[in-house]
Structure 1
Amino acid sequence: MKYTEYDEKTLKHLQSLELMILKDFIKICEENDLTYYMYAGSLLGAVRHNGFIPWDDDLDVIMFREDYEKFKKVFISSPNEKYELLTNETEEDYFHTLSKLMIKDTRFEENWVSQVNFHVGINMDIFVLDDLSDNNLKRNYQLKRAFLYNKLLIMSKIKLDDLPLVTKLITYTGYYILNLLKVKPFTIYKRCLKFLDKFKDENAKCVFDISATAEEYPQIFLKEDFKDTIKIKFEDIEVNIPKGYDNILKSLYGDYMQLPPEEDRYNHITENLDFGRY
């Protein structure tokens, strides 16, 4: 796996700023009665390490679609001097279905940033949970369409070189066709939201993280596992995790309490890390 070799001081500095983002994010959620959960590697870090995974360089939370949309409205309607929100509503060329809460005037950028006209600061990822149909035929259709929207979003803006030859040819072809037709990521994202809205069902048994459908297997979870939150220590604060965290972590990582071999400990490949005034 690819891995950025940080010196200990730099990594701790980066993690401290990400923790600052989390604290301020939690404050906004509490003030506006919004529910969040630690997610992915950050959920694993909370449970296994009571904080960051030692080699991890990012921070992840997840929200149900309704709370996620409310958070975006709250933040966009009252921007502050400290943070900015990178999302499809604030940047029409942004090509993900998740948002990034970023510290202004900092940089945390990977190699694809040279292909876009926006910057990425030190940030926290905010993922989304959407309802998944209980009907098997509808579910398969929903997941395949979600997969397609994710691929189209990425292909509409960037070319990825680190791919098998056939996949690379397909993505390059998609990139040139979408750009020839002047299809913006924002247009694809709005169609994606309209599609997801058709499956909105408070009684649905399962939910999924649409961003993960860009991979081979989508992340599907029982909604029941997110029904309640519990508090757990994360560095010097307490954070929300789903009550069904054990099922979620097993789904994501298998035997999650076992440390992976060193060659499987991965993070982002940063090409530009700048702490700004921090």
Structure 2
Amino acid sequence: MDNIKLKLSEDFLKEEVRNDYTVSPEMKKVWAVELDLLDQLDRVCQKYDIPWYLSGGSLLGAVRHQGYIPWDDDIDLMMYRKDFERLCEVASQEFTEPYFFQTEETDTGSIRGHAQLRNSATTAILKSEEYFHYQFNQGIFIDIFPLDNVPDDPEERQAFVKSVNQLKHRARQFYNYCNGYPNKNLSGLKQFLLYTKFFFEKKKSGGRNIYYDRFAKEITKYDDQATQEVMMVMLGTEKCCWKREYVANPVRVPFELLSLPIPKDYDPLLTKQYGKWNIFVRGGSLHGSVIFDPDKSYKEYLK
């Protein structure tokens, strides 16, 4: 594969049966691109002493499979907010073509609320976004989630997460209506009212997405408080909220062709998120359906 730097073993791209599931050569190519992205991220994080951890299905895969869960097609990782911000600071000088470090600040309209490291020579278009033909980078990616302090009280935490996600939803609406991507499911009157509202708000703000600014401020509102709980807030689920002491002490474990960090005390994280995580249960990607092409740039699909 010419669009990655990671050296692959001779057999890596071959079709393979893992846990009674057939992994196709095409999916192996997607894995290879993602592993290359992981390798690049790890290089930068080691250079700047930025701690990070595999999370979600990637953490489960590392512990249970020493690599990918056979039916998984994505990579998730997490780091504390201060480390996330440090990574954002150095990203532009460290990730060069074909790699692209995507946040709302580097690629307006992506509005993920977290970062994605992408390979611009490939394609990973979410089916849920295919209709819009967004022009932001849609290469194959890995997800980089910041961990934020959240209220220790469950009801207060739930209200906080709801507020954050409402602002993110509004930020997406604002971008869509200000850039010609309306919601086709709304009536003409509702479309007109939203267009009018966002037009004047955009004019008043000098073009800035005021809702994204509010979202970015809201999600970090507890980061200067000594909470016991931390959370990947963008996922919006209690299953991704843990005691701070559990997300600590990185240890490296095998993950396919690489050696990658996970929390030393990983069992409480996996148990909360998956229950009996040692039992194989066929699942799917958090992203739902994705149009993958490891050999062609997303730009070809947007023509």
Residue in 1 that maps onto 2:148: 130
Q: Which protein has the larger Cα radius of gyration, Structure 1 or Structure 2?
A: 2
* Equivalent residues of 1:92, 1:185 under 8 A apart: no
Question: Which structure 1 segments of 5+ residues have no match?
Answer: 162-167
Q: TM-score, normalising length from structure 1?
A: 0.82
Matches within 5 A, 1:105-116: 105-111=121-127, 112-115=129-132, 116=134
Residue 163 of structure 2 corresponds to residue 145 of structure 1: yes
Residue in 2 that maps onto 1:56: 72
CA-CA distance at 1:77 after TM superposition: 4.0
* Equivalent residues of 2:167, 2:215 under 8 A apart: yes
CA-CA distance at 1:154 after TM superposition: 3.9
* In 2: Cα distance, 1:212 partner to 1:65 partner: 15
Q: TM-score, normalising length from structure 2?
A: 0.76
Q: Secondary structure at the match of 1:231?
A: strand
Residue in 2 that maps onto 1:234: 255
Say what the alpha-carbon RMSD is for the aligned residues: 3.1
CA-CA distance at 1:7 after TM superposition: 6.4
Counterpart residue type for residue 151 of structure 1: H
Q: Deviations for 1:73-117, whole angstroms, at most 9, x for unmatched residues?
A: 101244412311121111221121111101122111122144122
Q: 1:159 to 1:218 in 2, by over 3 A?
A: farther
* In 2: Cα distance, 1:27 partner to 1:108 partner: 23
Residue in 2 that maps onto 1:225: 246
* In 1: Cα distance, 2:107 partner to 2:195 partner: 18
Among 254, 278, 284, the alignment partner of 1:257 is 278
Q: 1:246 to 1:145 in 2, by over 3 A?
A: same
Question: More deviation in 48-57 or 191-200?
Answer: 191-200
* Equivalent residues of 2:140, 2:292 under 8 A apart: no
Counterpart residue type for residue 89 of structure 1: E
Q: Secondary structure at the match of 1:54?
A: coil
* Equivalent residues of 2:121, 2:139 under 8 A apart: yes
Paired residue total: 262
Residue in 2 that maps onto 1:207: 230
Residue 268 of structure 2 corresponds to residue 247 of structure 1: yes
* Equivalent residues of 2:230, 2:241 under 8 A apart: yes
Q: 1:135 to 1:110 in 2, by over 3 A?
A: closer
Q: Percent of pairs identical after alignment?
A: 25
Q: Secondary structure at the match of 2:77?
A: strand
CA-CA distance at 1:19 after TM superposition: 0.6
Among 117, 122, 145, the alignment partner of 2:135 is 117
